[in-house]
Structure 1
């Protein structure tokens, strides 16, 4: 594939700005969607302040990746796999959650710095990775359902649900017809067009107060930390195994597409920066970042493989972080619109998992289908576990057994590497 600009090429200022805006159009919805969900979980927290910290973190880690890490054109944003861990650990409090993210990030950076990260790849066969991709989507289903039925206390849940169904159908129809950068930025267009439609149907949404500052640095950059119990920490470490696989796959996919040299060093440096970024996320009290696997599609659509095209996007994200007013307007986007876009992103994740399963022959046999199907079913059932059942479990193991993602990952690893290990003829 031919590109107008290579990895280390510097486009002319006008072209650089245009390419940067395209990356920005992809990045902002990814940061906003997950950030809005996590910010809403903090009982006494400010969504605007949380999003300011998150936008600033993403901008800093993105710049670090471009200049010091993998040095590839890779979009970056909050890790949905950590959202699963956060949702399952709310009872432990955000102090323990922040500390777990800090510890997980430091361990990830250490594994990358010592070159040991490659050994983890052996656990994550194509079949396991396919399950990981789909598990994230399935175990986030309760969160998506809560978002699309949230009318802010004024709109009946039935009406917001029907609105979400209509917007979802329109979104996937548009995905079928659109091509190139229009398809790559579809999440942004869904927010820009879905919000006014929601307002027209159900009335105005809450806008930032008139005295909201146009420019102000985020406050309270240091978050509370608390020693996590063994169950919470173990759950997050399993999530970080999946995050490491996601990061490795994203870096390698772009490197293969662009035929980049020195991929071993790029992978180690890229994962190390991701780990340090997660450690910084734990210190500042936000969800940790990861490199996203959708980058090859954006590169192919724009024809620009220059890593420097991400610099204007990172600067723009940092400027947003310094504007409470801008963040306030982003925060006012209706929850059902956010839920629909999150469902769209998760559907794409399921599609990626199915494609990987088909290409690798992961479900070519009945036993292969069981290795994929059993973890998905168990993980989904645990995700919808009634609160009274979860409350009856021992406190030490509750964060593990109530985390659908962790249950699914442990199950697929056991099936893949233990139960069916002696049947190589039935494994692809």
Structure 2
């Protein structure tokens, strides 16, 4: 107990609080905007995102993988959900039907994740996500999310059609200035300052936005913590959307493997089978909770590796303190109401900078691969096909059966699934057979 009173632990906990905040705050706001929710529901999403993210981190540290690794709303899931929101209207799917079907699919994927944890089959699944799959996954995820962030920075609203949207030059100038400032601060500032570059960018950009643009609503910091099930839409059964959610849930397991394998070297020990089982079980529980409360589903954050390397705070006590403070932010309506007013263009600018670094992670996986002819095809096909599918308008997929349309129109999932398929085809066996026959 005396350790709790050490100043260094509370300073470390404050750093973890900033890390949790900057990686979480924009997610519920962008999802709420994509589903065209009223302000009170967006505030609800912000509150519950803070509350459950803090709780998930504490449970993972105490009962799960028992490491200081952030458990947060998954970037893969976030990309899939935002992509579906963009495509749904043109495919004849209402946003409430999409939200209700996503809730069902997310809860199903949560139960599957728990089953993976309890059964111990995670050891077998880890073999699927080799460096080739992870390289393609990281690069496609960066392309998908950053394309969305850039559109918002340009002042283009969520779900806007190309024939009705236009660039808002003043918004773009401000958001691009914020992005450049955060990059320069990350590179040039002292480590003690650069570690807070994202937070500084959000606060500074927000203040500039309020000063430069008129007609803003007065910030109301009153309110209370209201509980509402299925805020994105009542449960519904669009099979195509549910199928996408289940597949996304399976692919989302790659975050657990990436985060734990990536911290093995930091903690000087390999994560045990028990740690994997406990981690998957707790993640699955919070995925189910996400479906109930309209949140982006959870997974361990691979970006925690960079935070641990930079701060050298490996002990769990500061991490738990940071999670506890984040929970308090969630149950304090005044703070949640204030955070829900964050301008999307500013938040997207900061996140663009964050997810540009996925290129570094992707290149690290590429470096582990011998680039012979067969491997180049394995990497290039899913990567280029996935990116090209992202650029296709929804009208291209009108002839596809409705049950498959949401899946095949999602370039991110198409690329990842193709990569999983190609990486697990035994080319060597086929080559040997061909040589024997000749």
TM over 0.5: yes
TM-score by length of 2: 0.86
Distance 1:197 1:89, change over 3 A: closer
Unaligned runs of 5+ in 1: 1-7
Quick one: which of 243, 264, 286 aligns to 1:234?
A: 243
Q: How far apart are the structure 2 equivalents of 1:250 and 1:316? A: 23
The alignment status of 1:258 with 2:267, answered yes or no, reads yes
The residue aligned with 2:226 is: 218
1:166 alignment partner in structure 2: 177
- Residue 390 of structure 2 is aligned with which of 383, 390, 393? 383
Q: CA deviation at 1:416?
A: 2.1
Give the match for residue 4 of structure 1: none
2:356 equivalent in structure 1: 347
CA distance in 2, matches of 1:424, 1:11: 61
Give the equivalent residue in structure 1 for 2:29.
36
| 1:371 aligned partner | 378
Shift of 1:301: 2.6
With over 3 angstroms needed to count, the CA separation of the structure-2 counterparts of 1:156 and 1:200, relative to structure 1, is farther
TM-score for both structures, normalised by structure 1: 0.88
Query: What SS class does the counterpart of residue 357 from structure 2 fall into?
Result: helix
Is the CA contact 2:16–2:323 (under 8 Å) kept in the aligned structure 1? no
For 1:11-410, list aligned pairs within 5 A. 12-45=5-38, 46-90=41-85, 91=93, 92-150=97-155, 157-178=168-189, 180-203=191-214, 205-209=216-220, 212-213=222-223, 216-221=224-229, 225-260=234-269, 263-358=272-367, 360-361=368-369, 364-410=371-417
Tell me whether 284-293 or 387-396 shows the greater mean CA deviation: 387-396
CA contact (8 A) 2:186 2:195 kept: no
Distance 1:114 1:19, change over 3 A: same
Q: Deviation at 1:129? A: 0.6
Contact 2:16 2:322 in 1 (8 A): yes
1:420–1:88: structure 2 CA closer, same or farther, 3 Å change rule?
farther
Instruction: Report the CA distance shift for 1:396/1:190 in structure 2 as closer, same or farther (over 3 A).
Output: same
1:184/1:272 CA distance change after superposition, 3 Å? farther
- How big is the shift at 1:179? 5.2
CA contact (8 A) 1:66 1:307 kept: yes
Count of aligned residue pairs for this structure pair? 412
How big is each residue's C-alpha offset from its partner over 1:228-279, in whole Å with a ceiling of 9 and x where there is no partner? 3332232222222321111122022223311247622112111211111111
Deviation at 1:18, TM superposition (A): 0.6
Query: Helix, strand or coil: the match of 2:226?
Result: coil
1:103 is displaced (CA, Å) by 0.8
Q: CA deviation at 1:111?
A: 0.7
Shift of 1:195: 1.8
Distance 1:290 1:162, change over 3 A: same
Report if the CA contact (8 A) 1:96-1:226 is conserved.
yes
**2:419 corresponding residue in structure 1:** 412
Cα distance in 1 for partners of 2:327, 2:431 equals: 50
Distance 2:431 2:352 in 1: 36
Whole-angstrom CA distance in 2 between matches of 1:420 and 1:169: 45
380-389 or 216-225, which deviates more: 216-225
Q: Judge conservation of contact 2:390–2:411 (CA < 8 Å) in 1.
A: yes
RMSD: 2.7
- Secondary structure of 2:314's aligned partner: coil
- Cα offset for 1:221? 4.4
- CA shift in 2, pair 1:284/1:200, >3 Å: closer
**Unpaired segments of 5 or more residues in structure 2?**
86-92, 161-165, 433-438
CA contact (8 A) 1:104 1:240 kept: yes
Aligned-residue offset at 1:97: 0.5
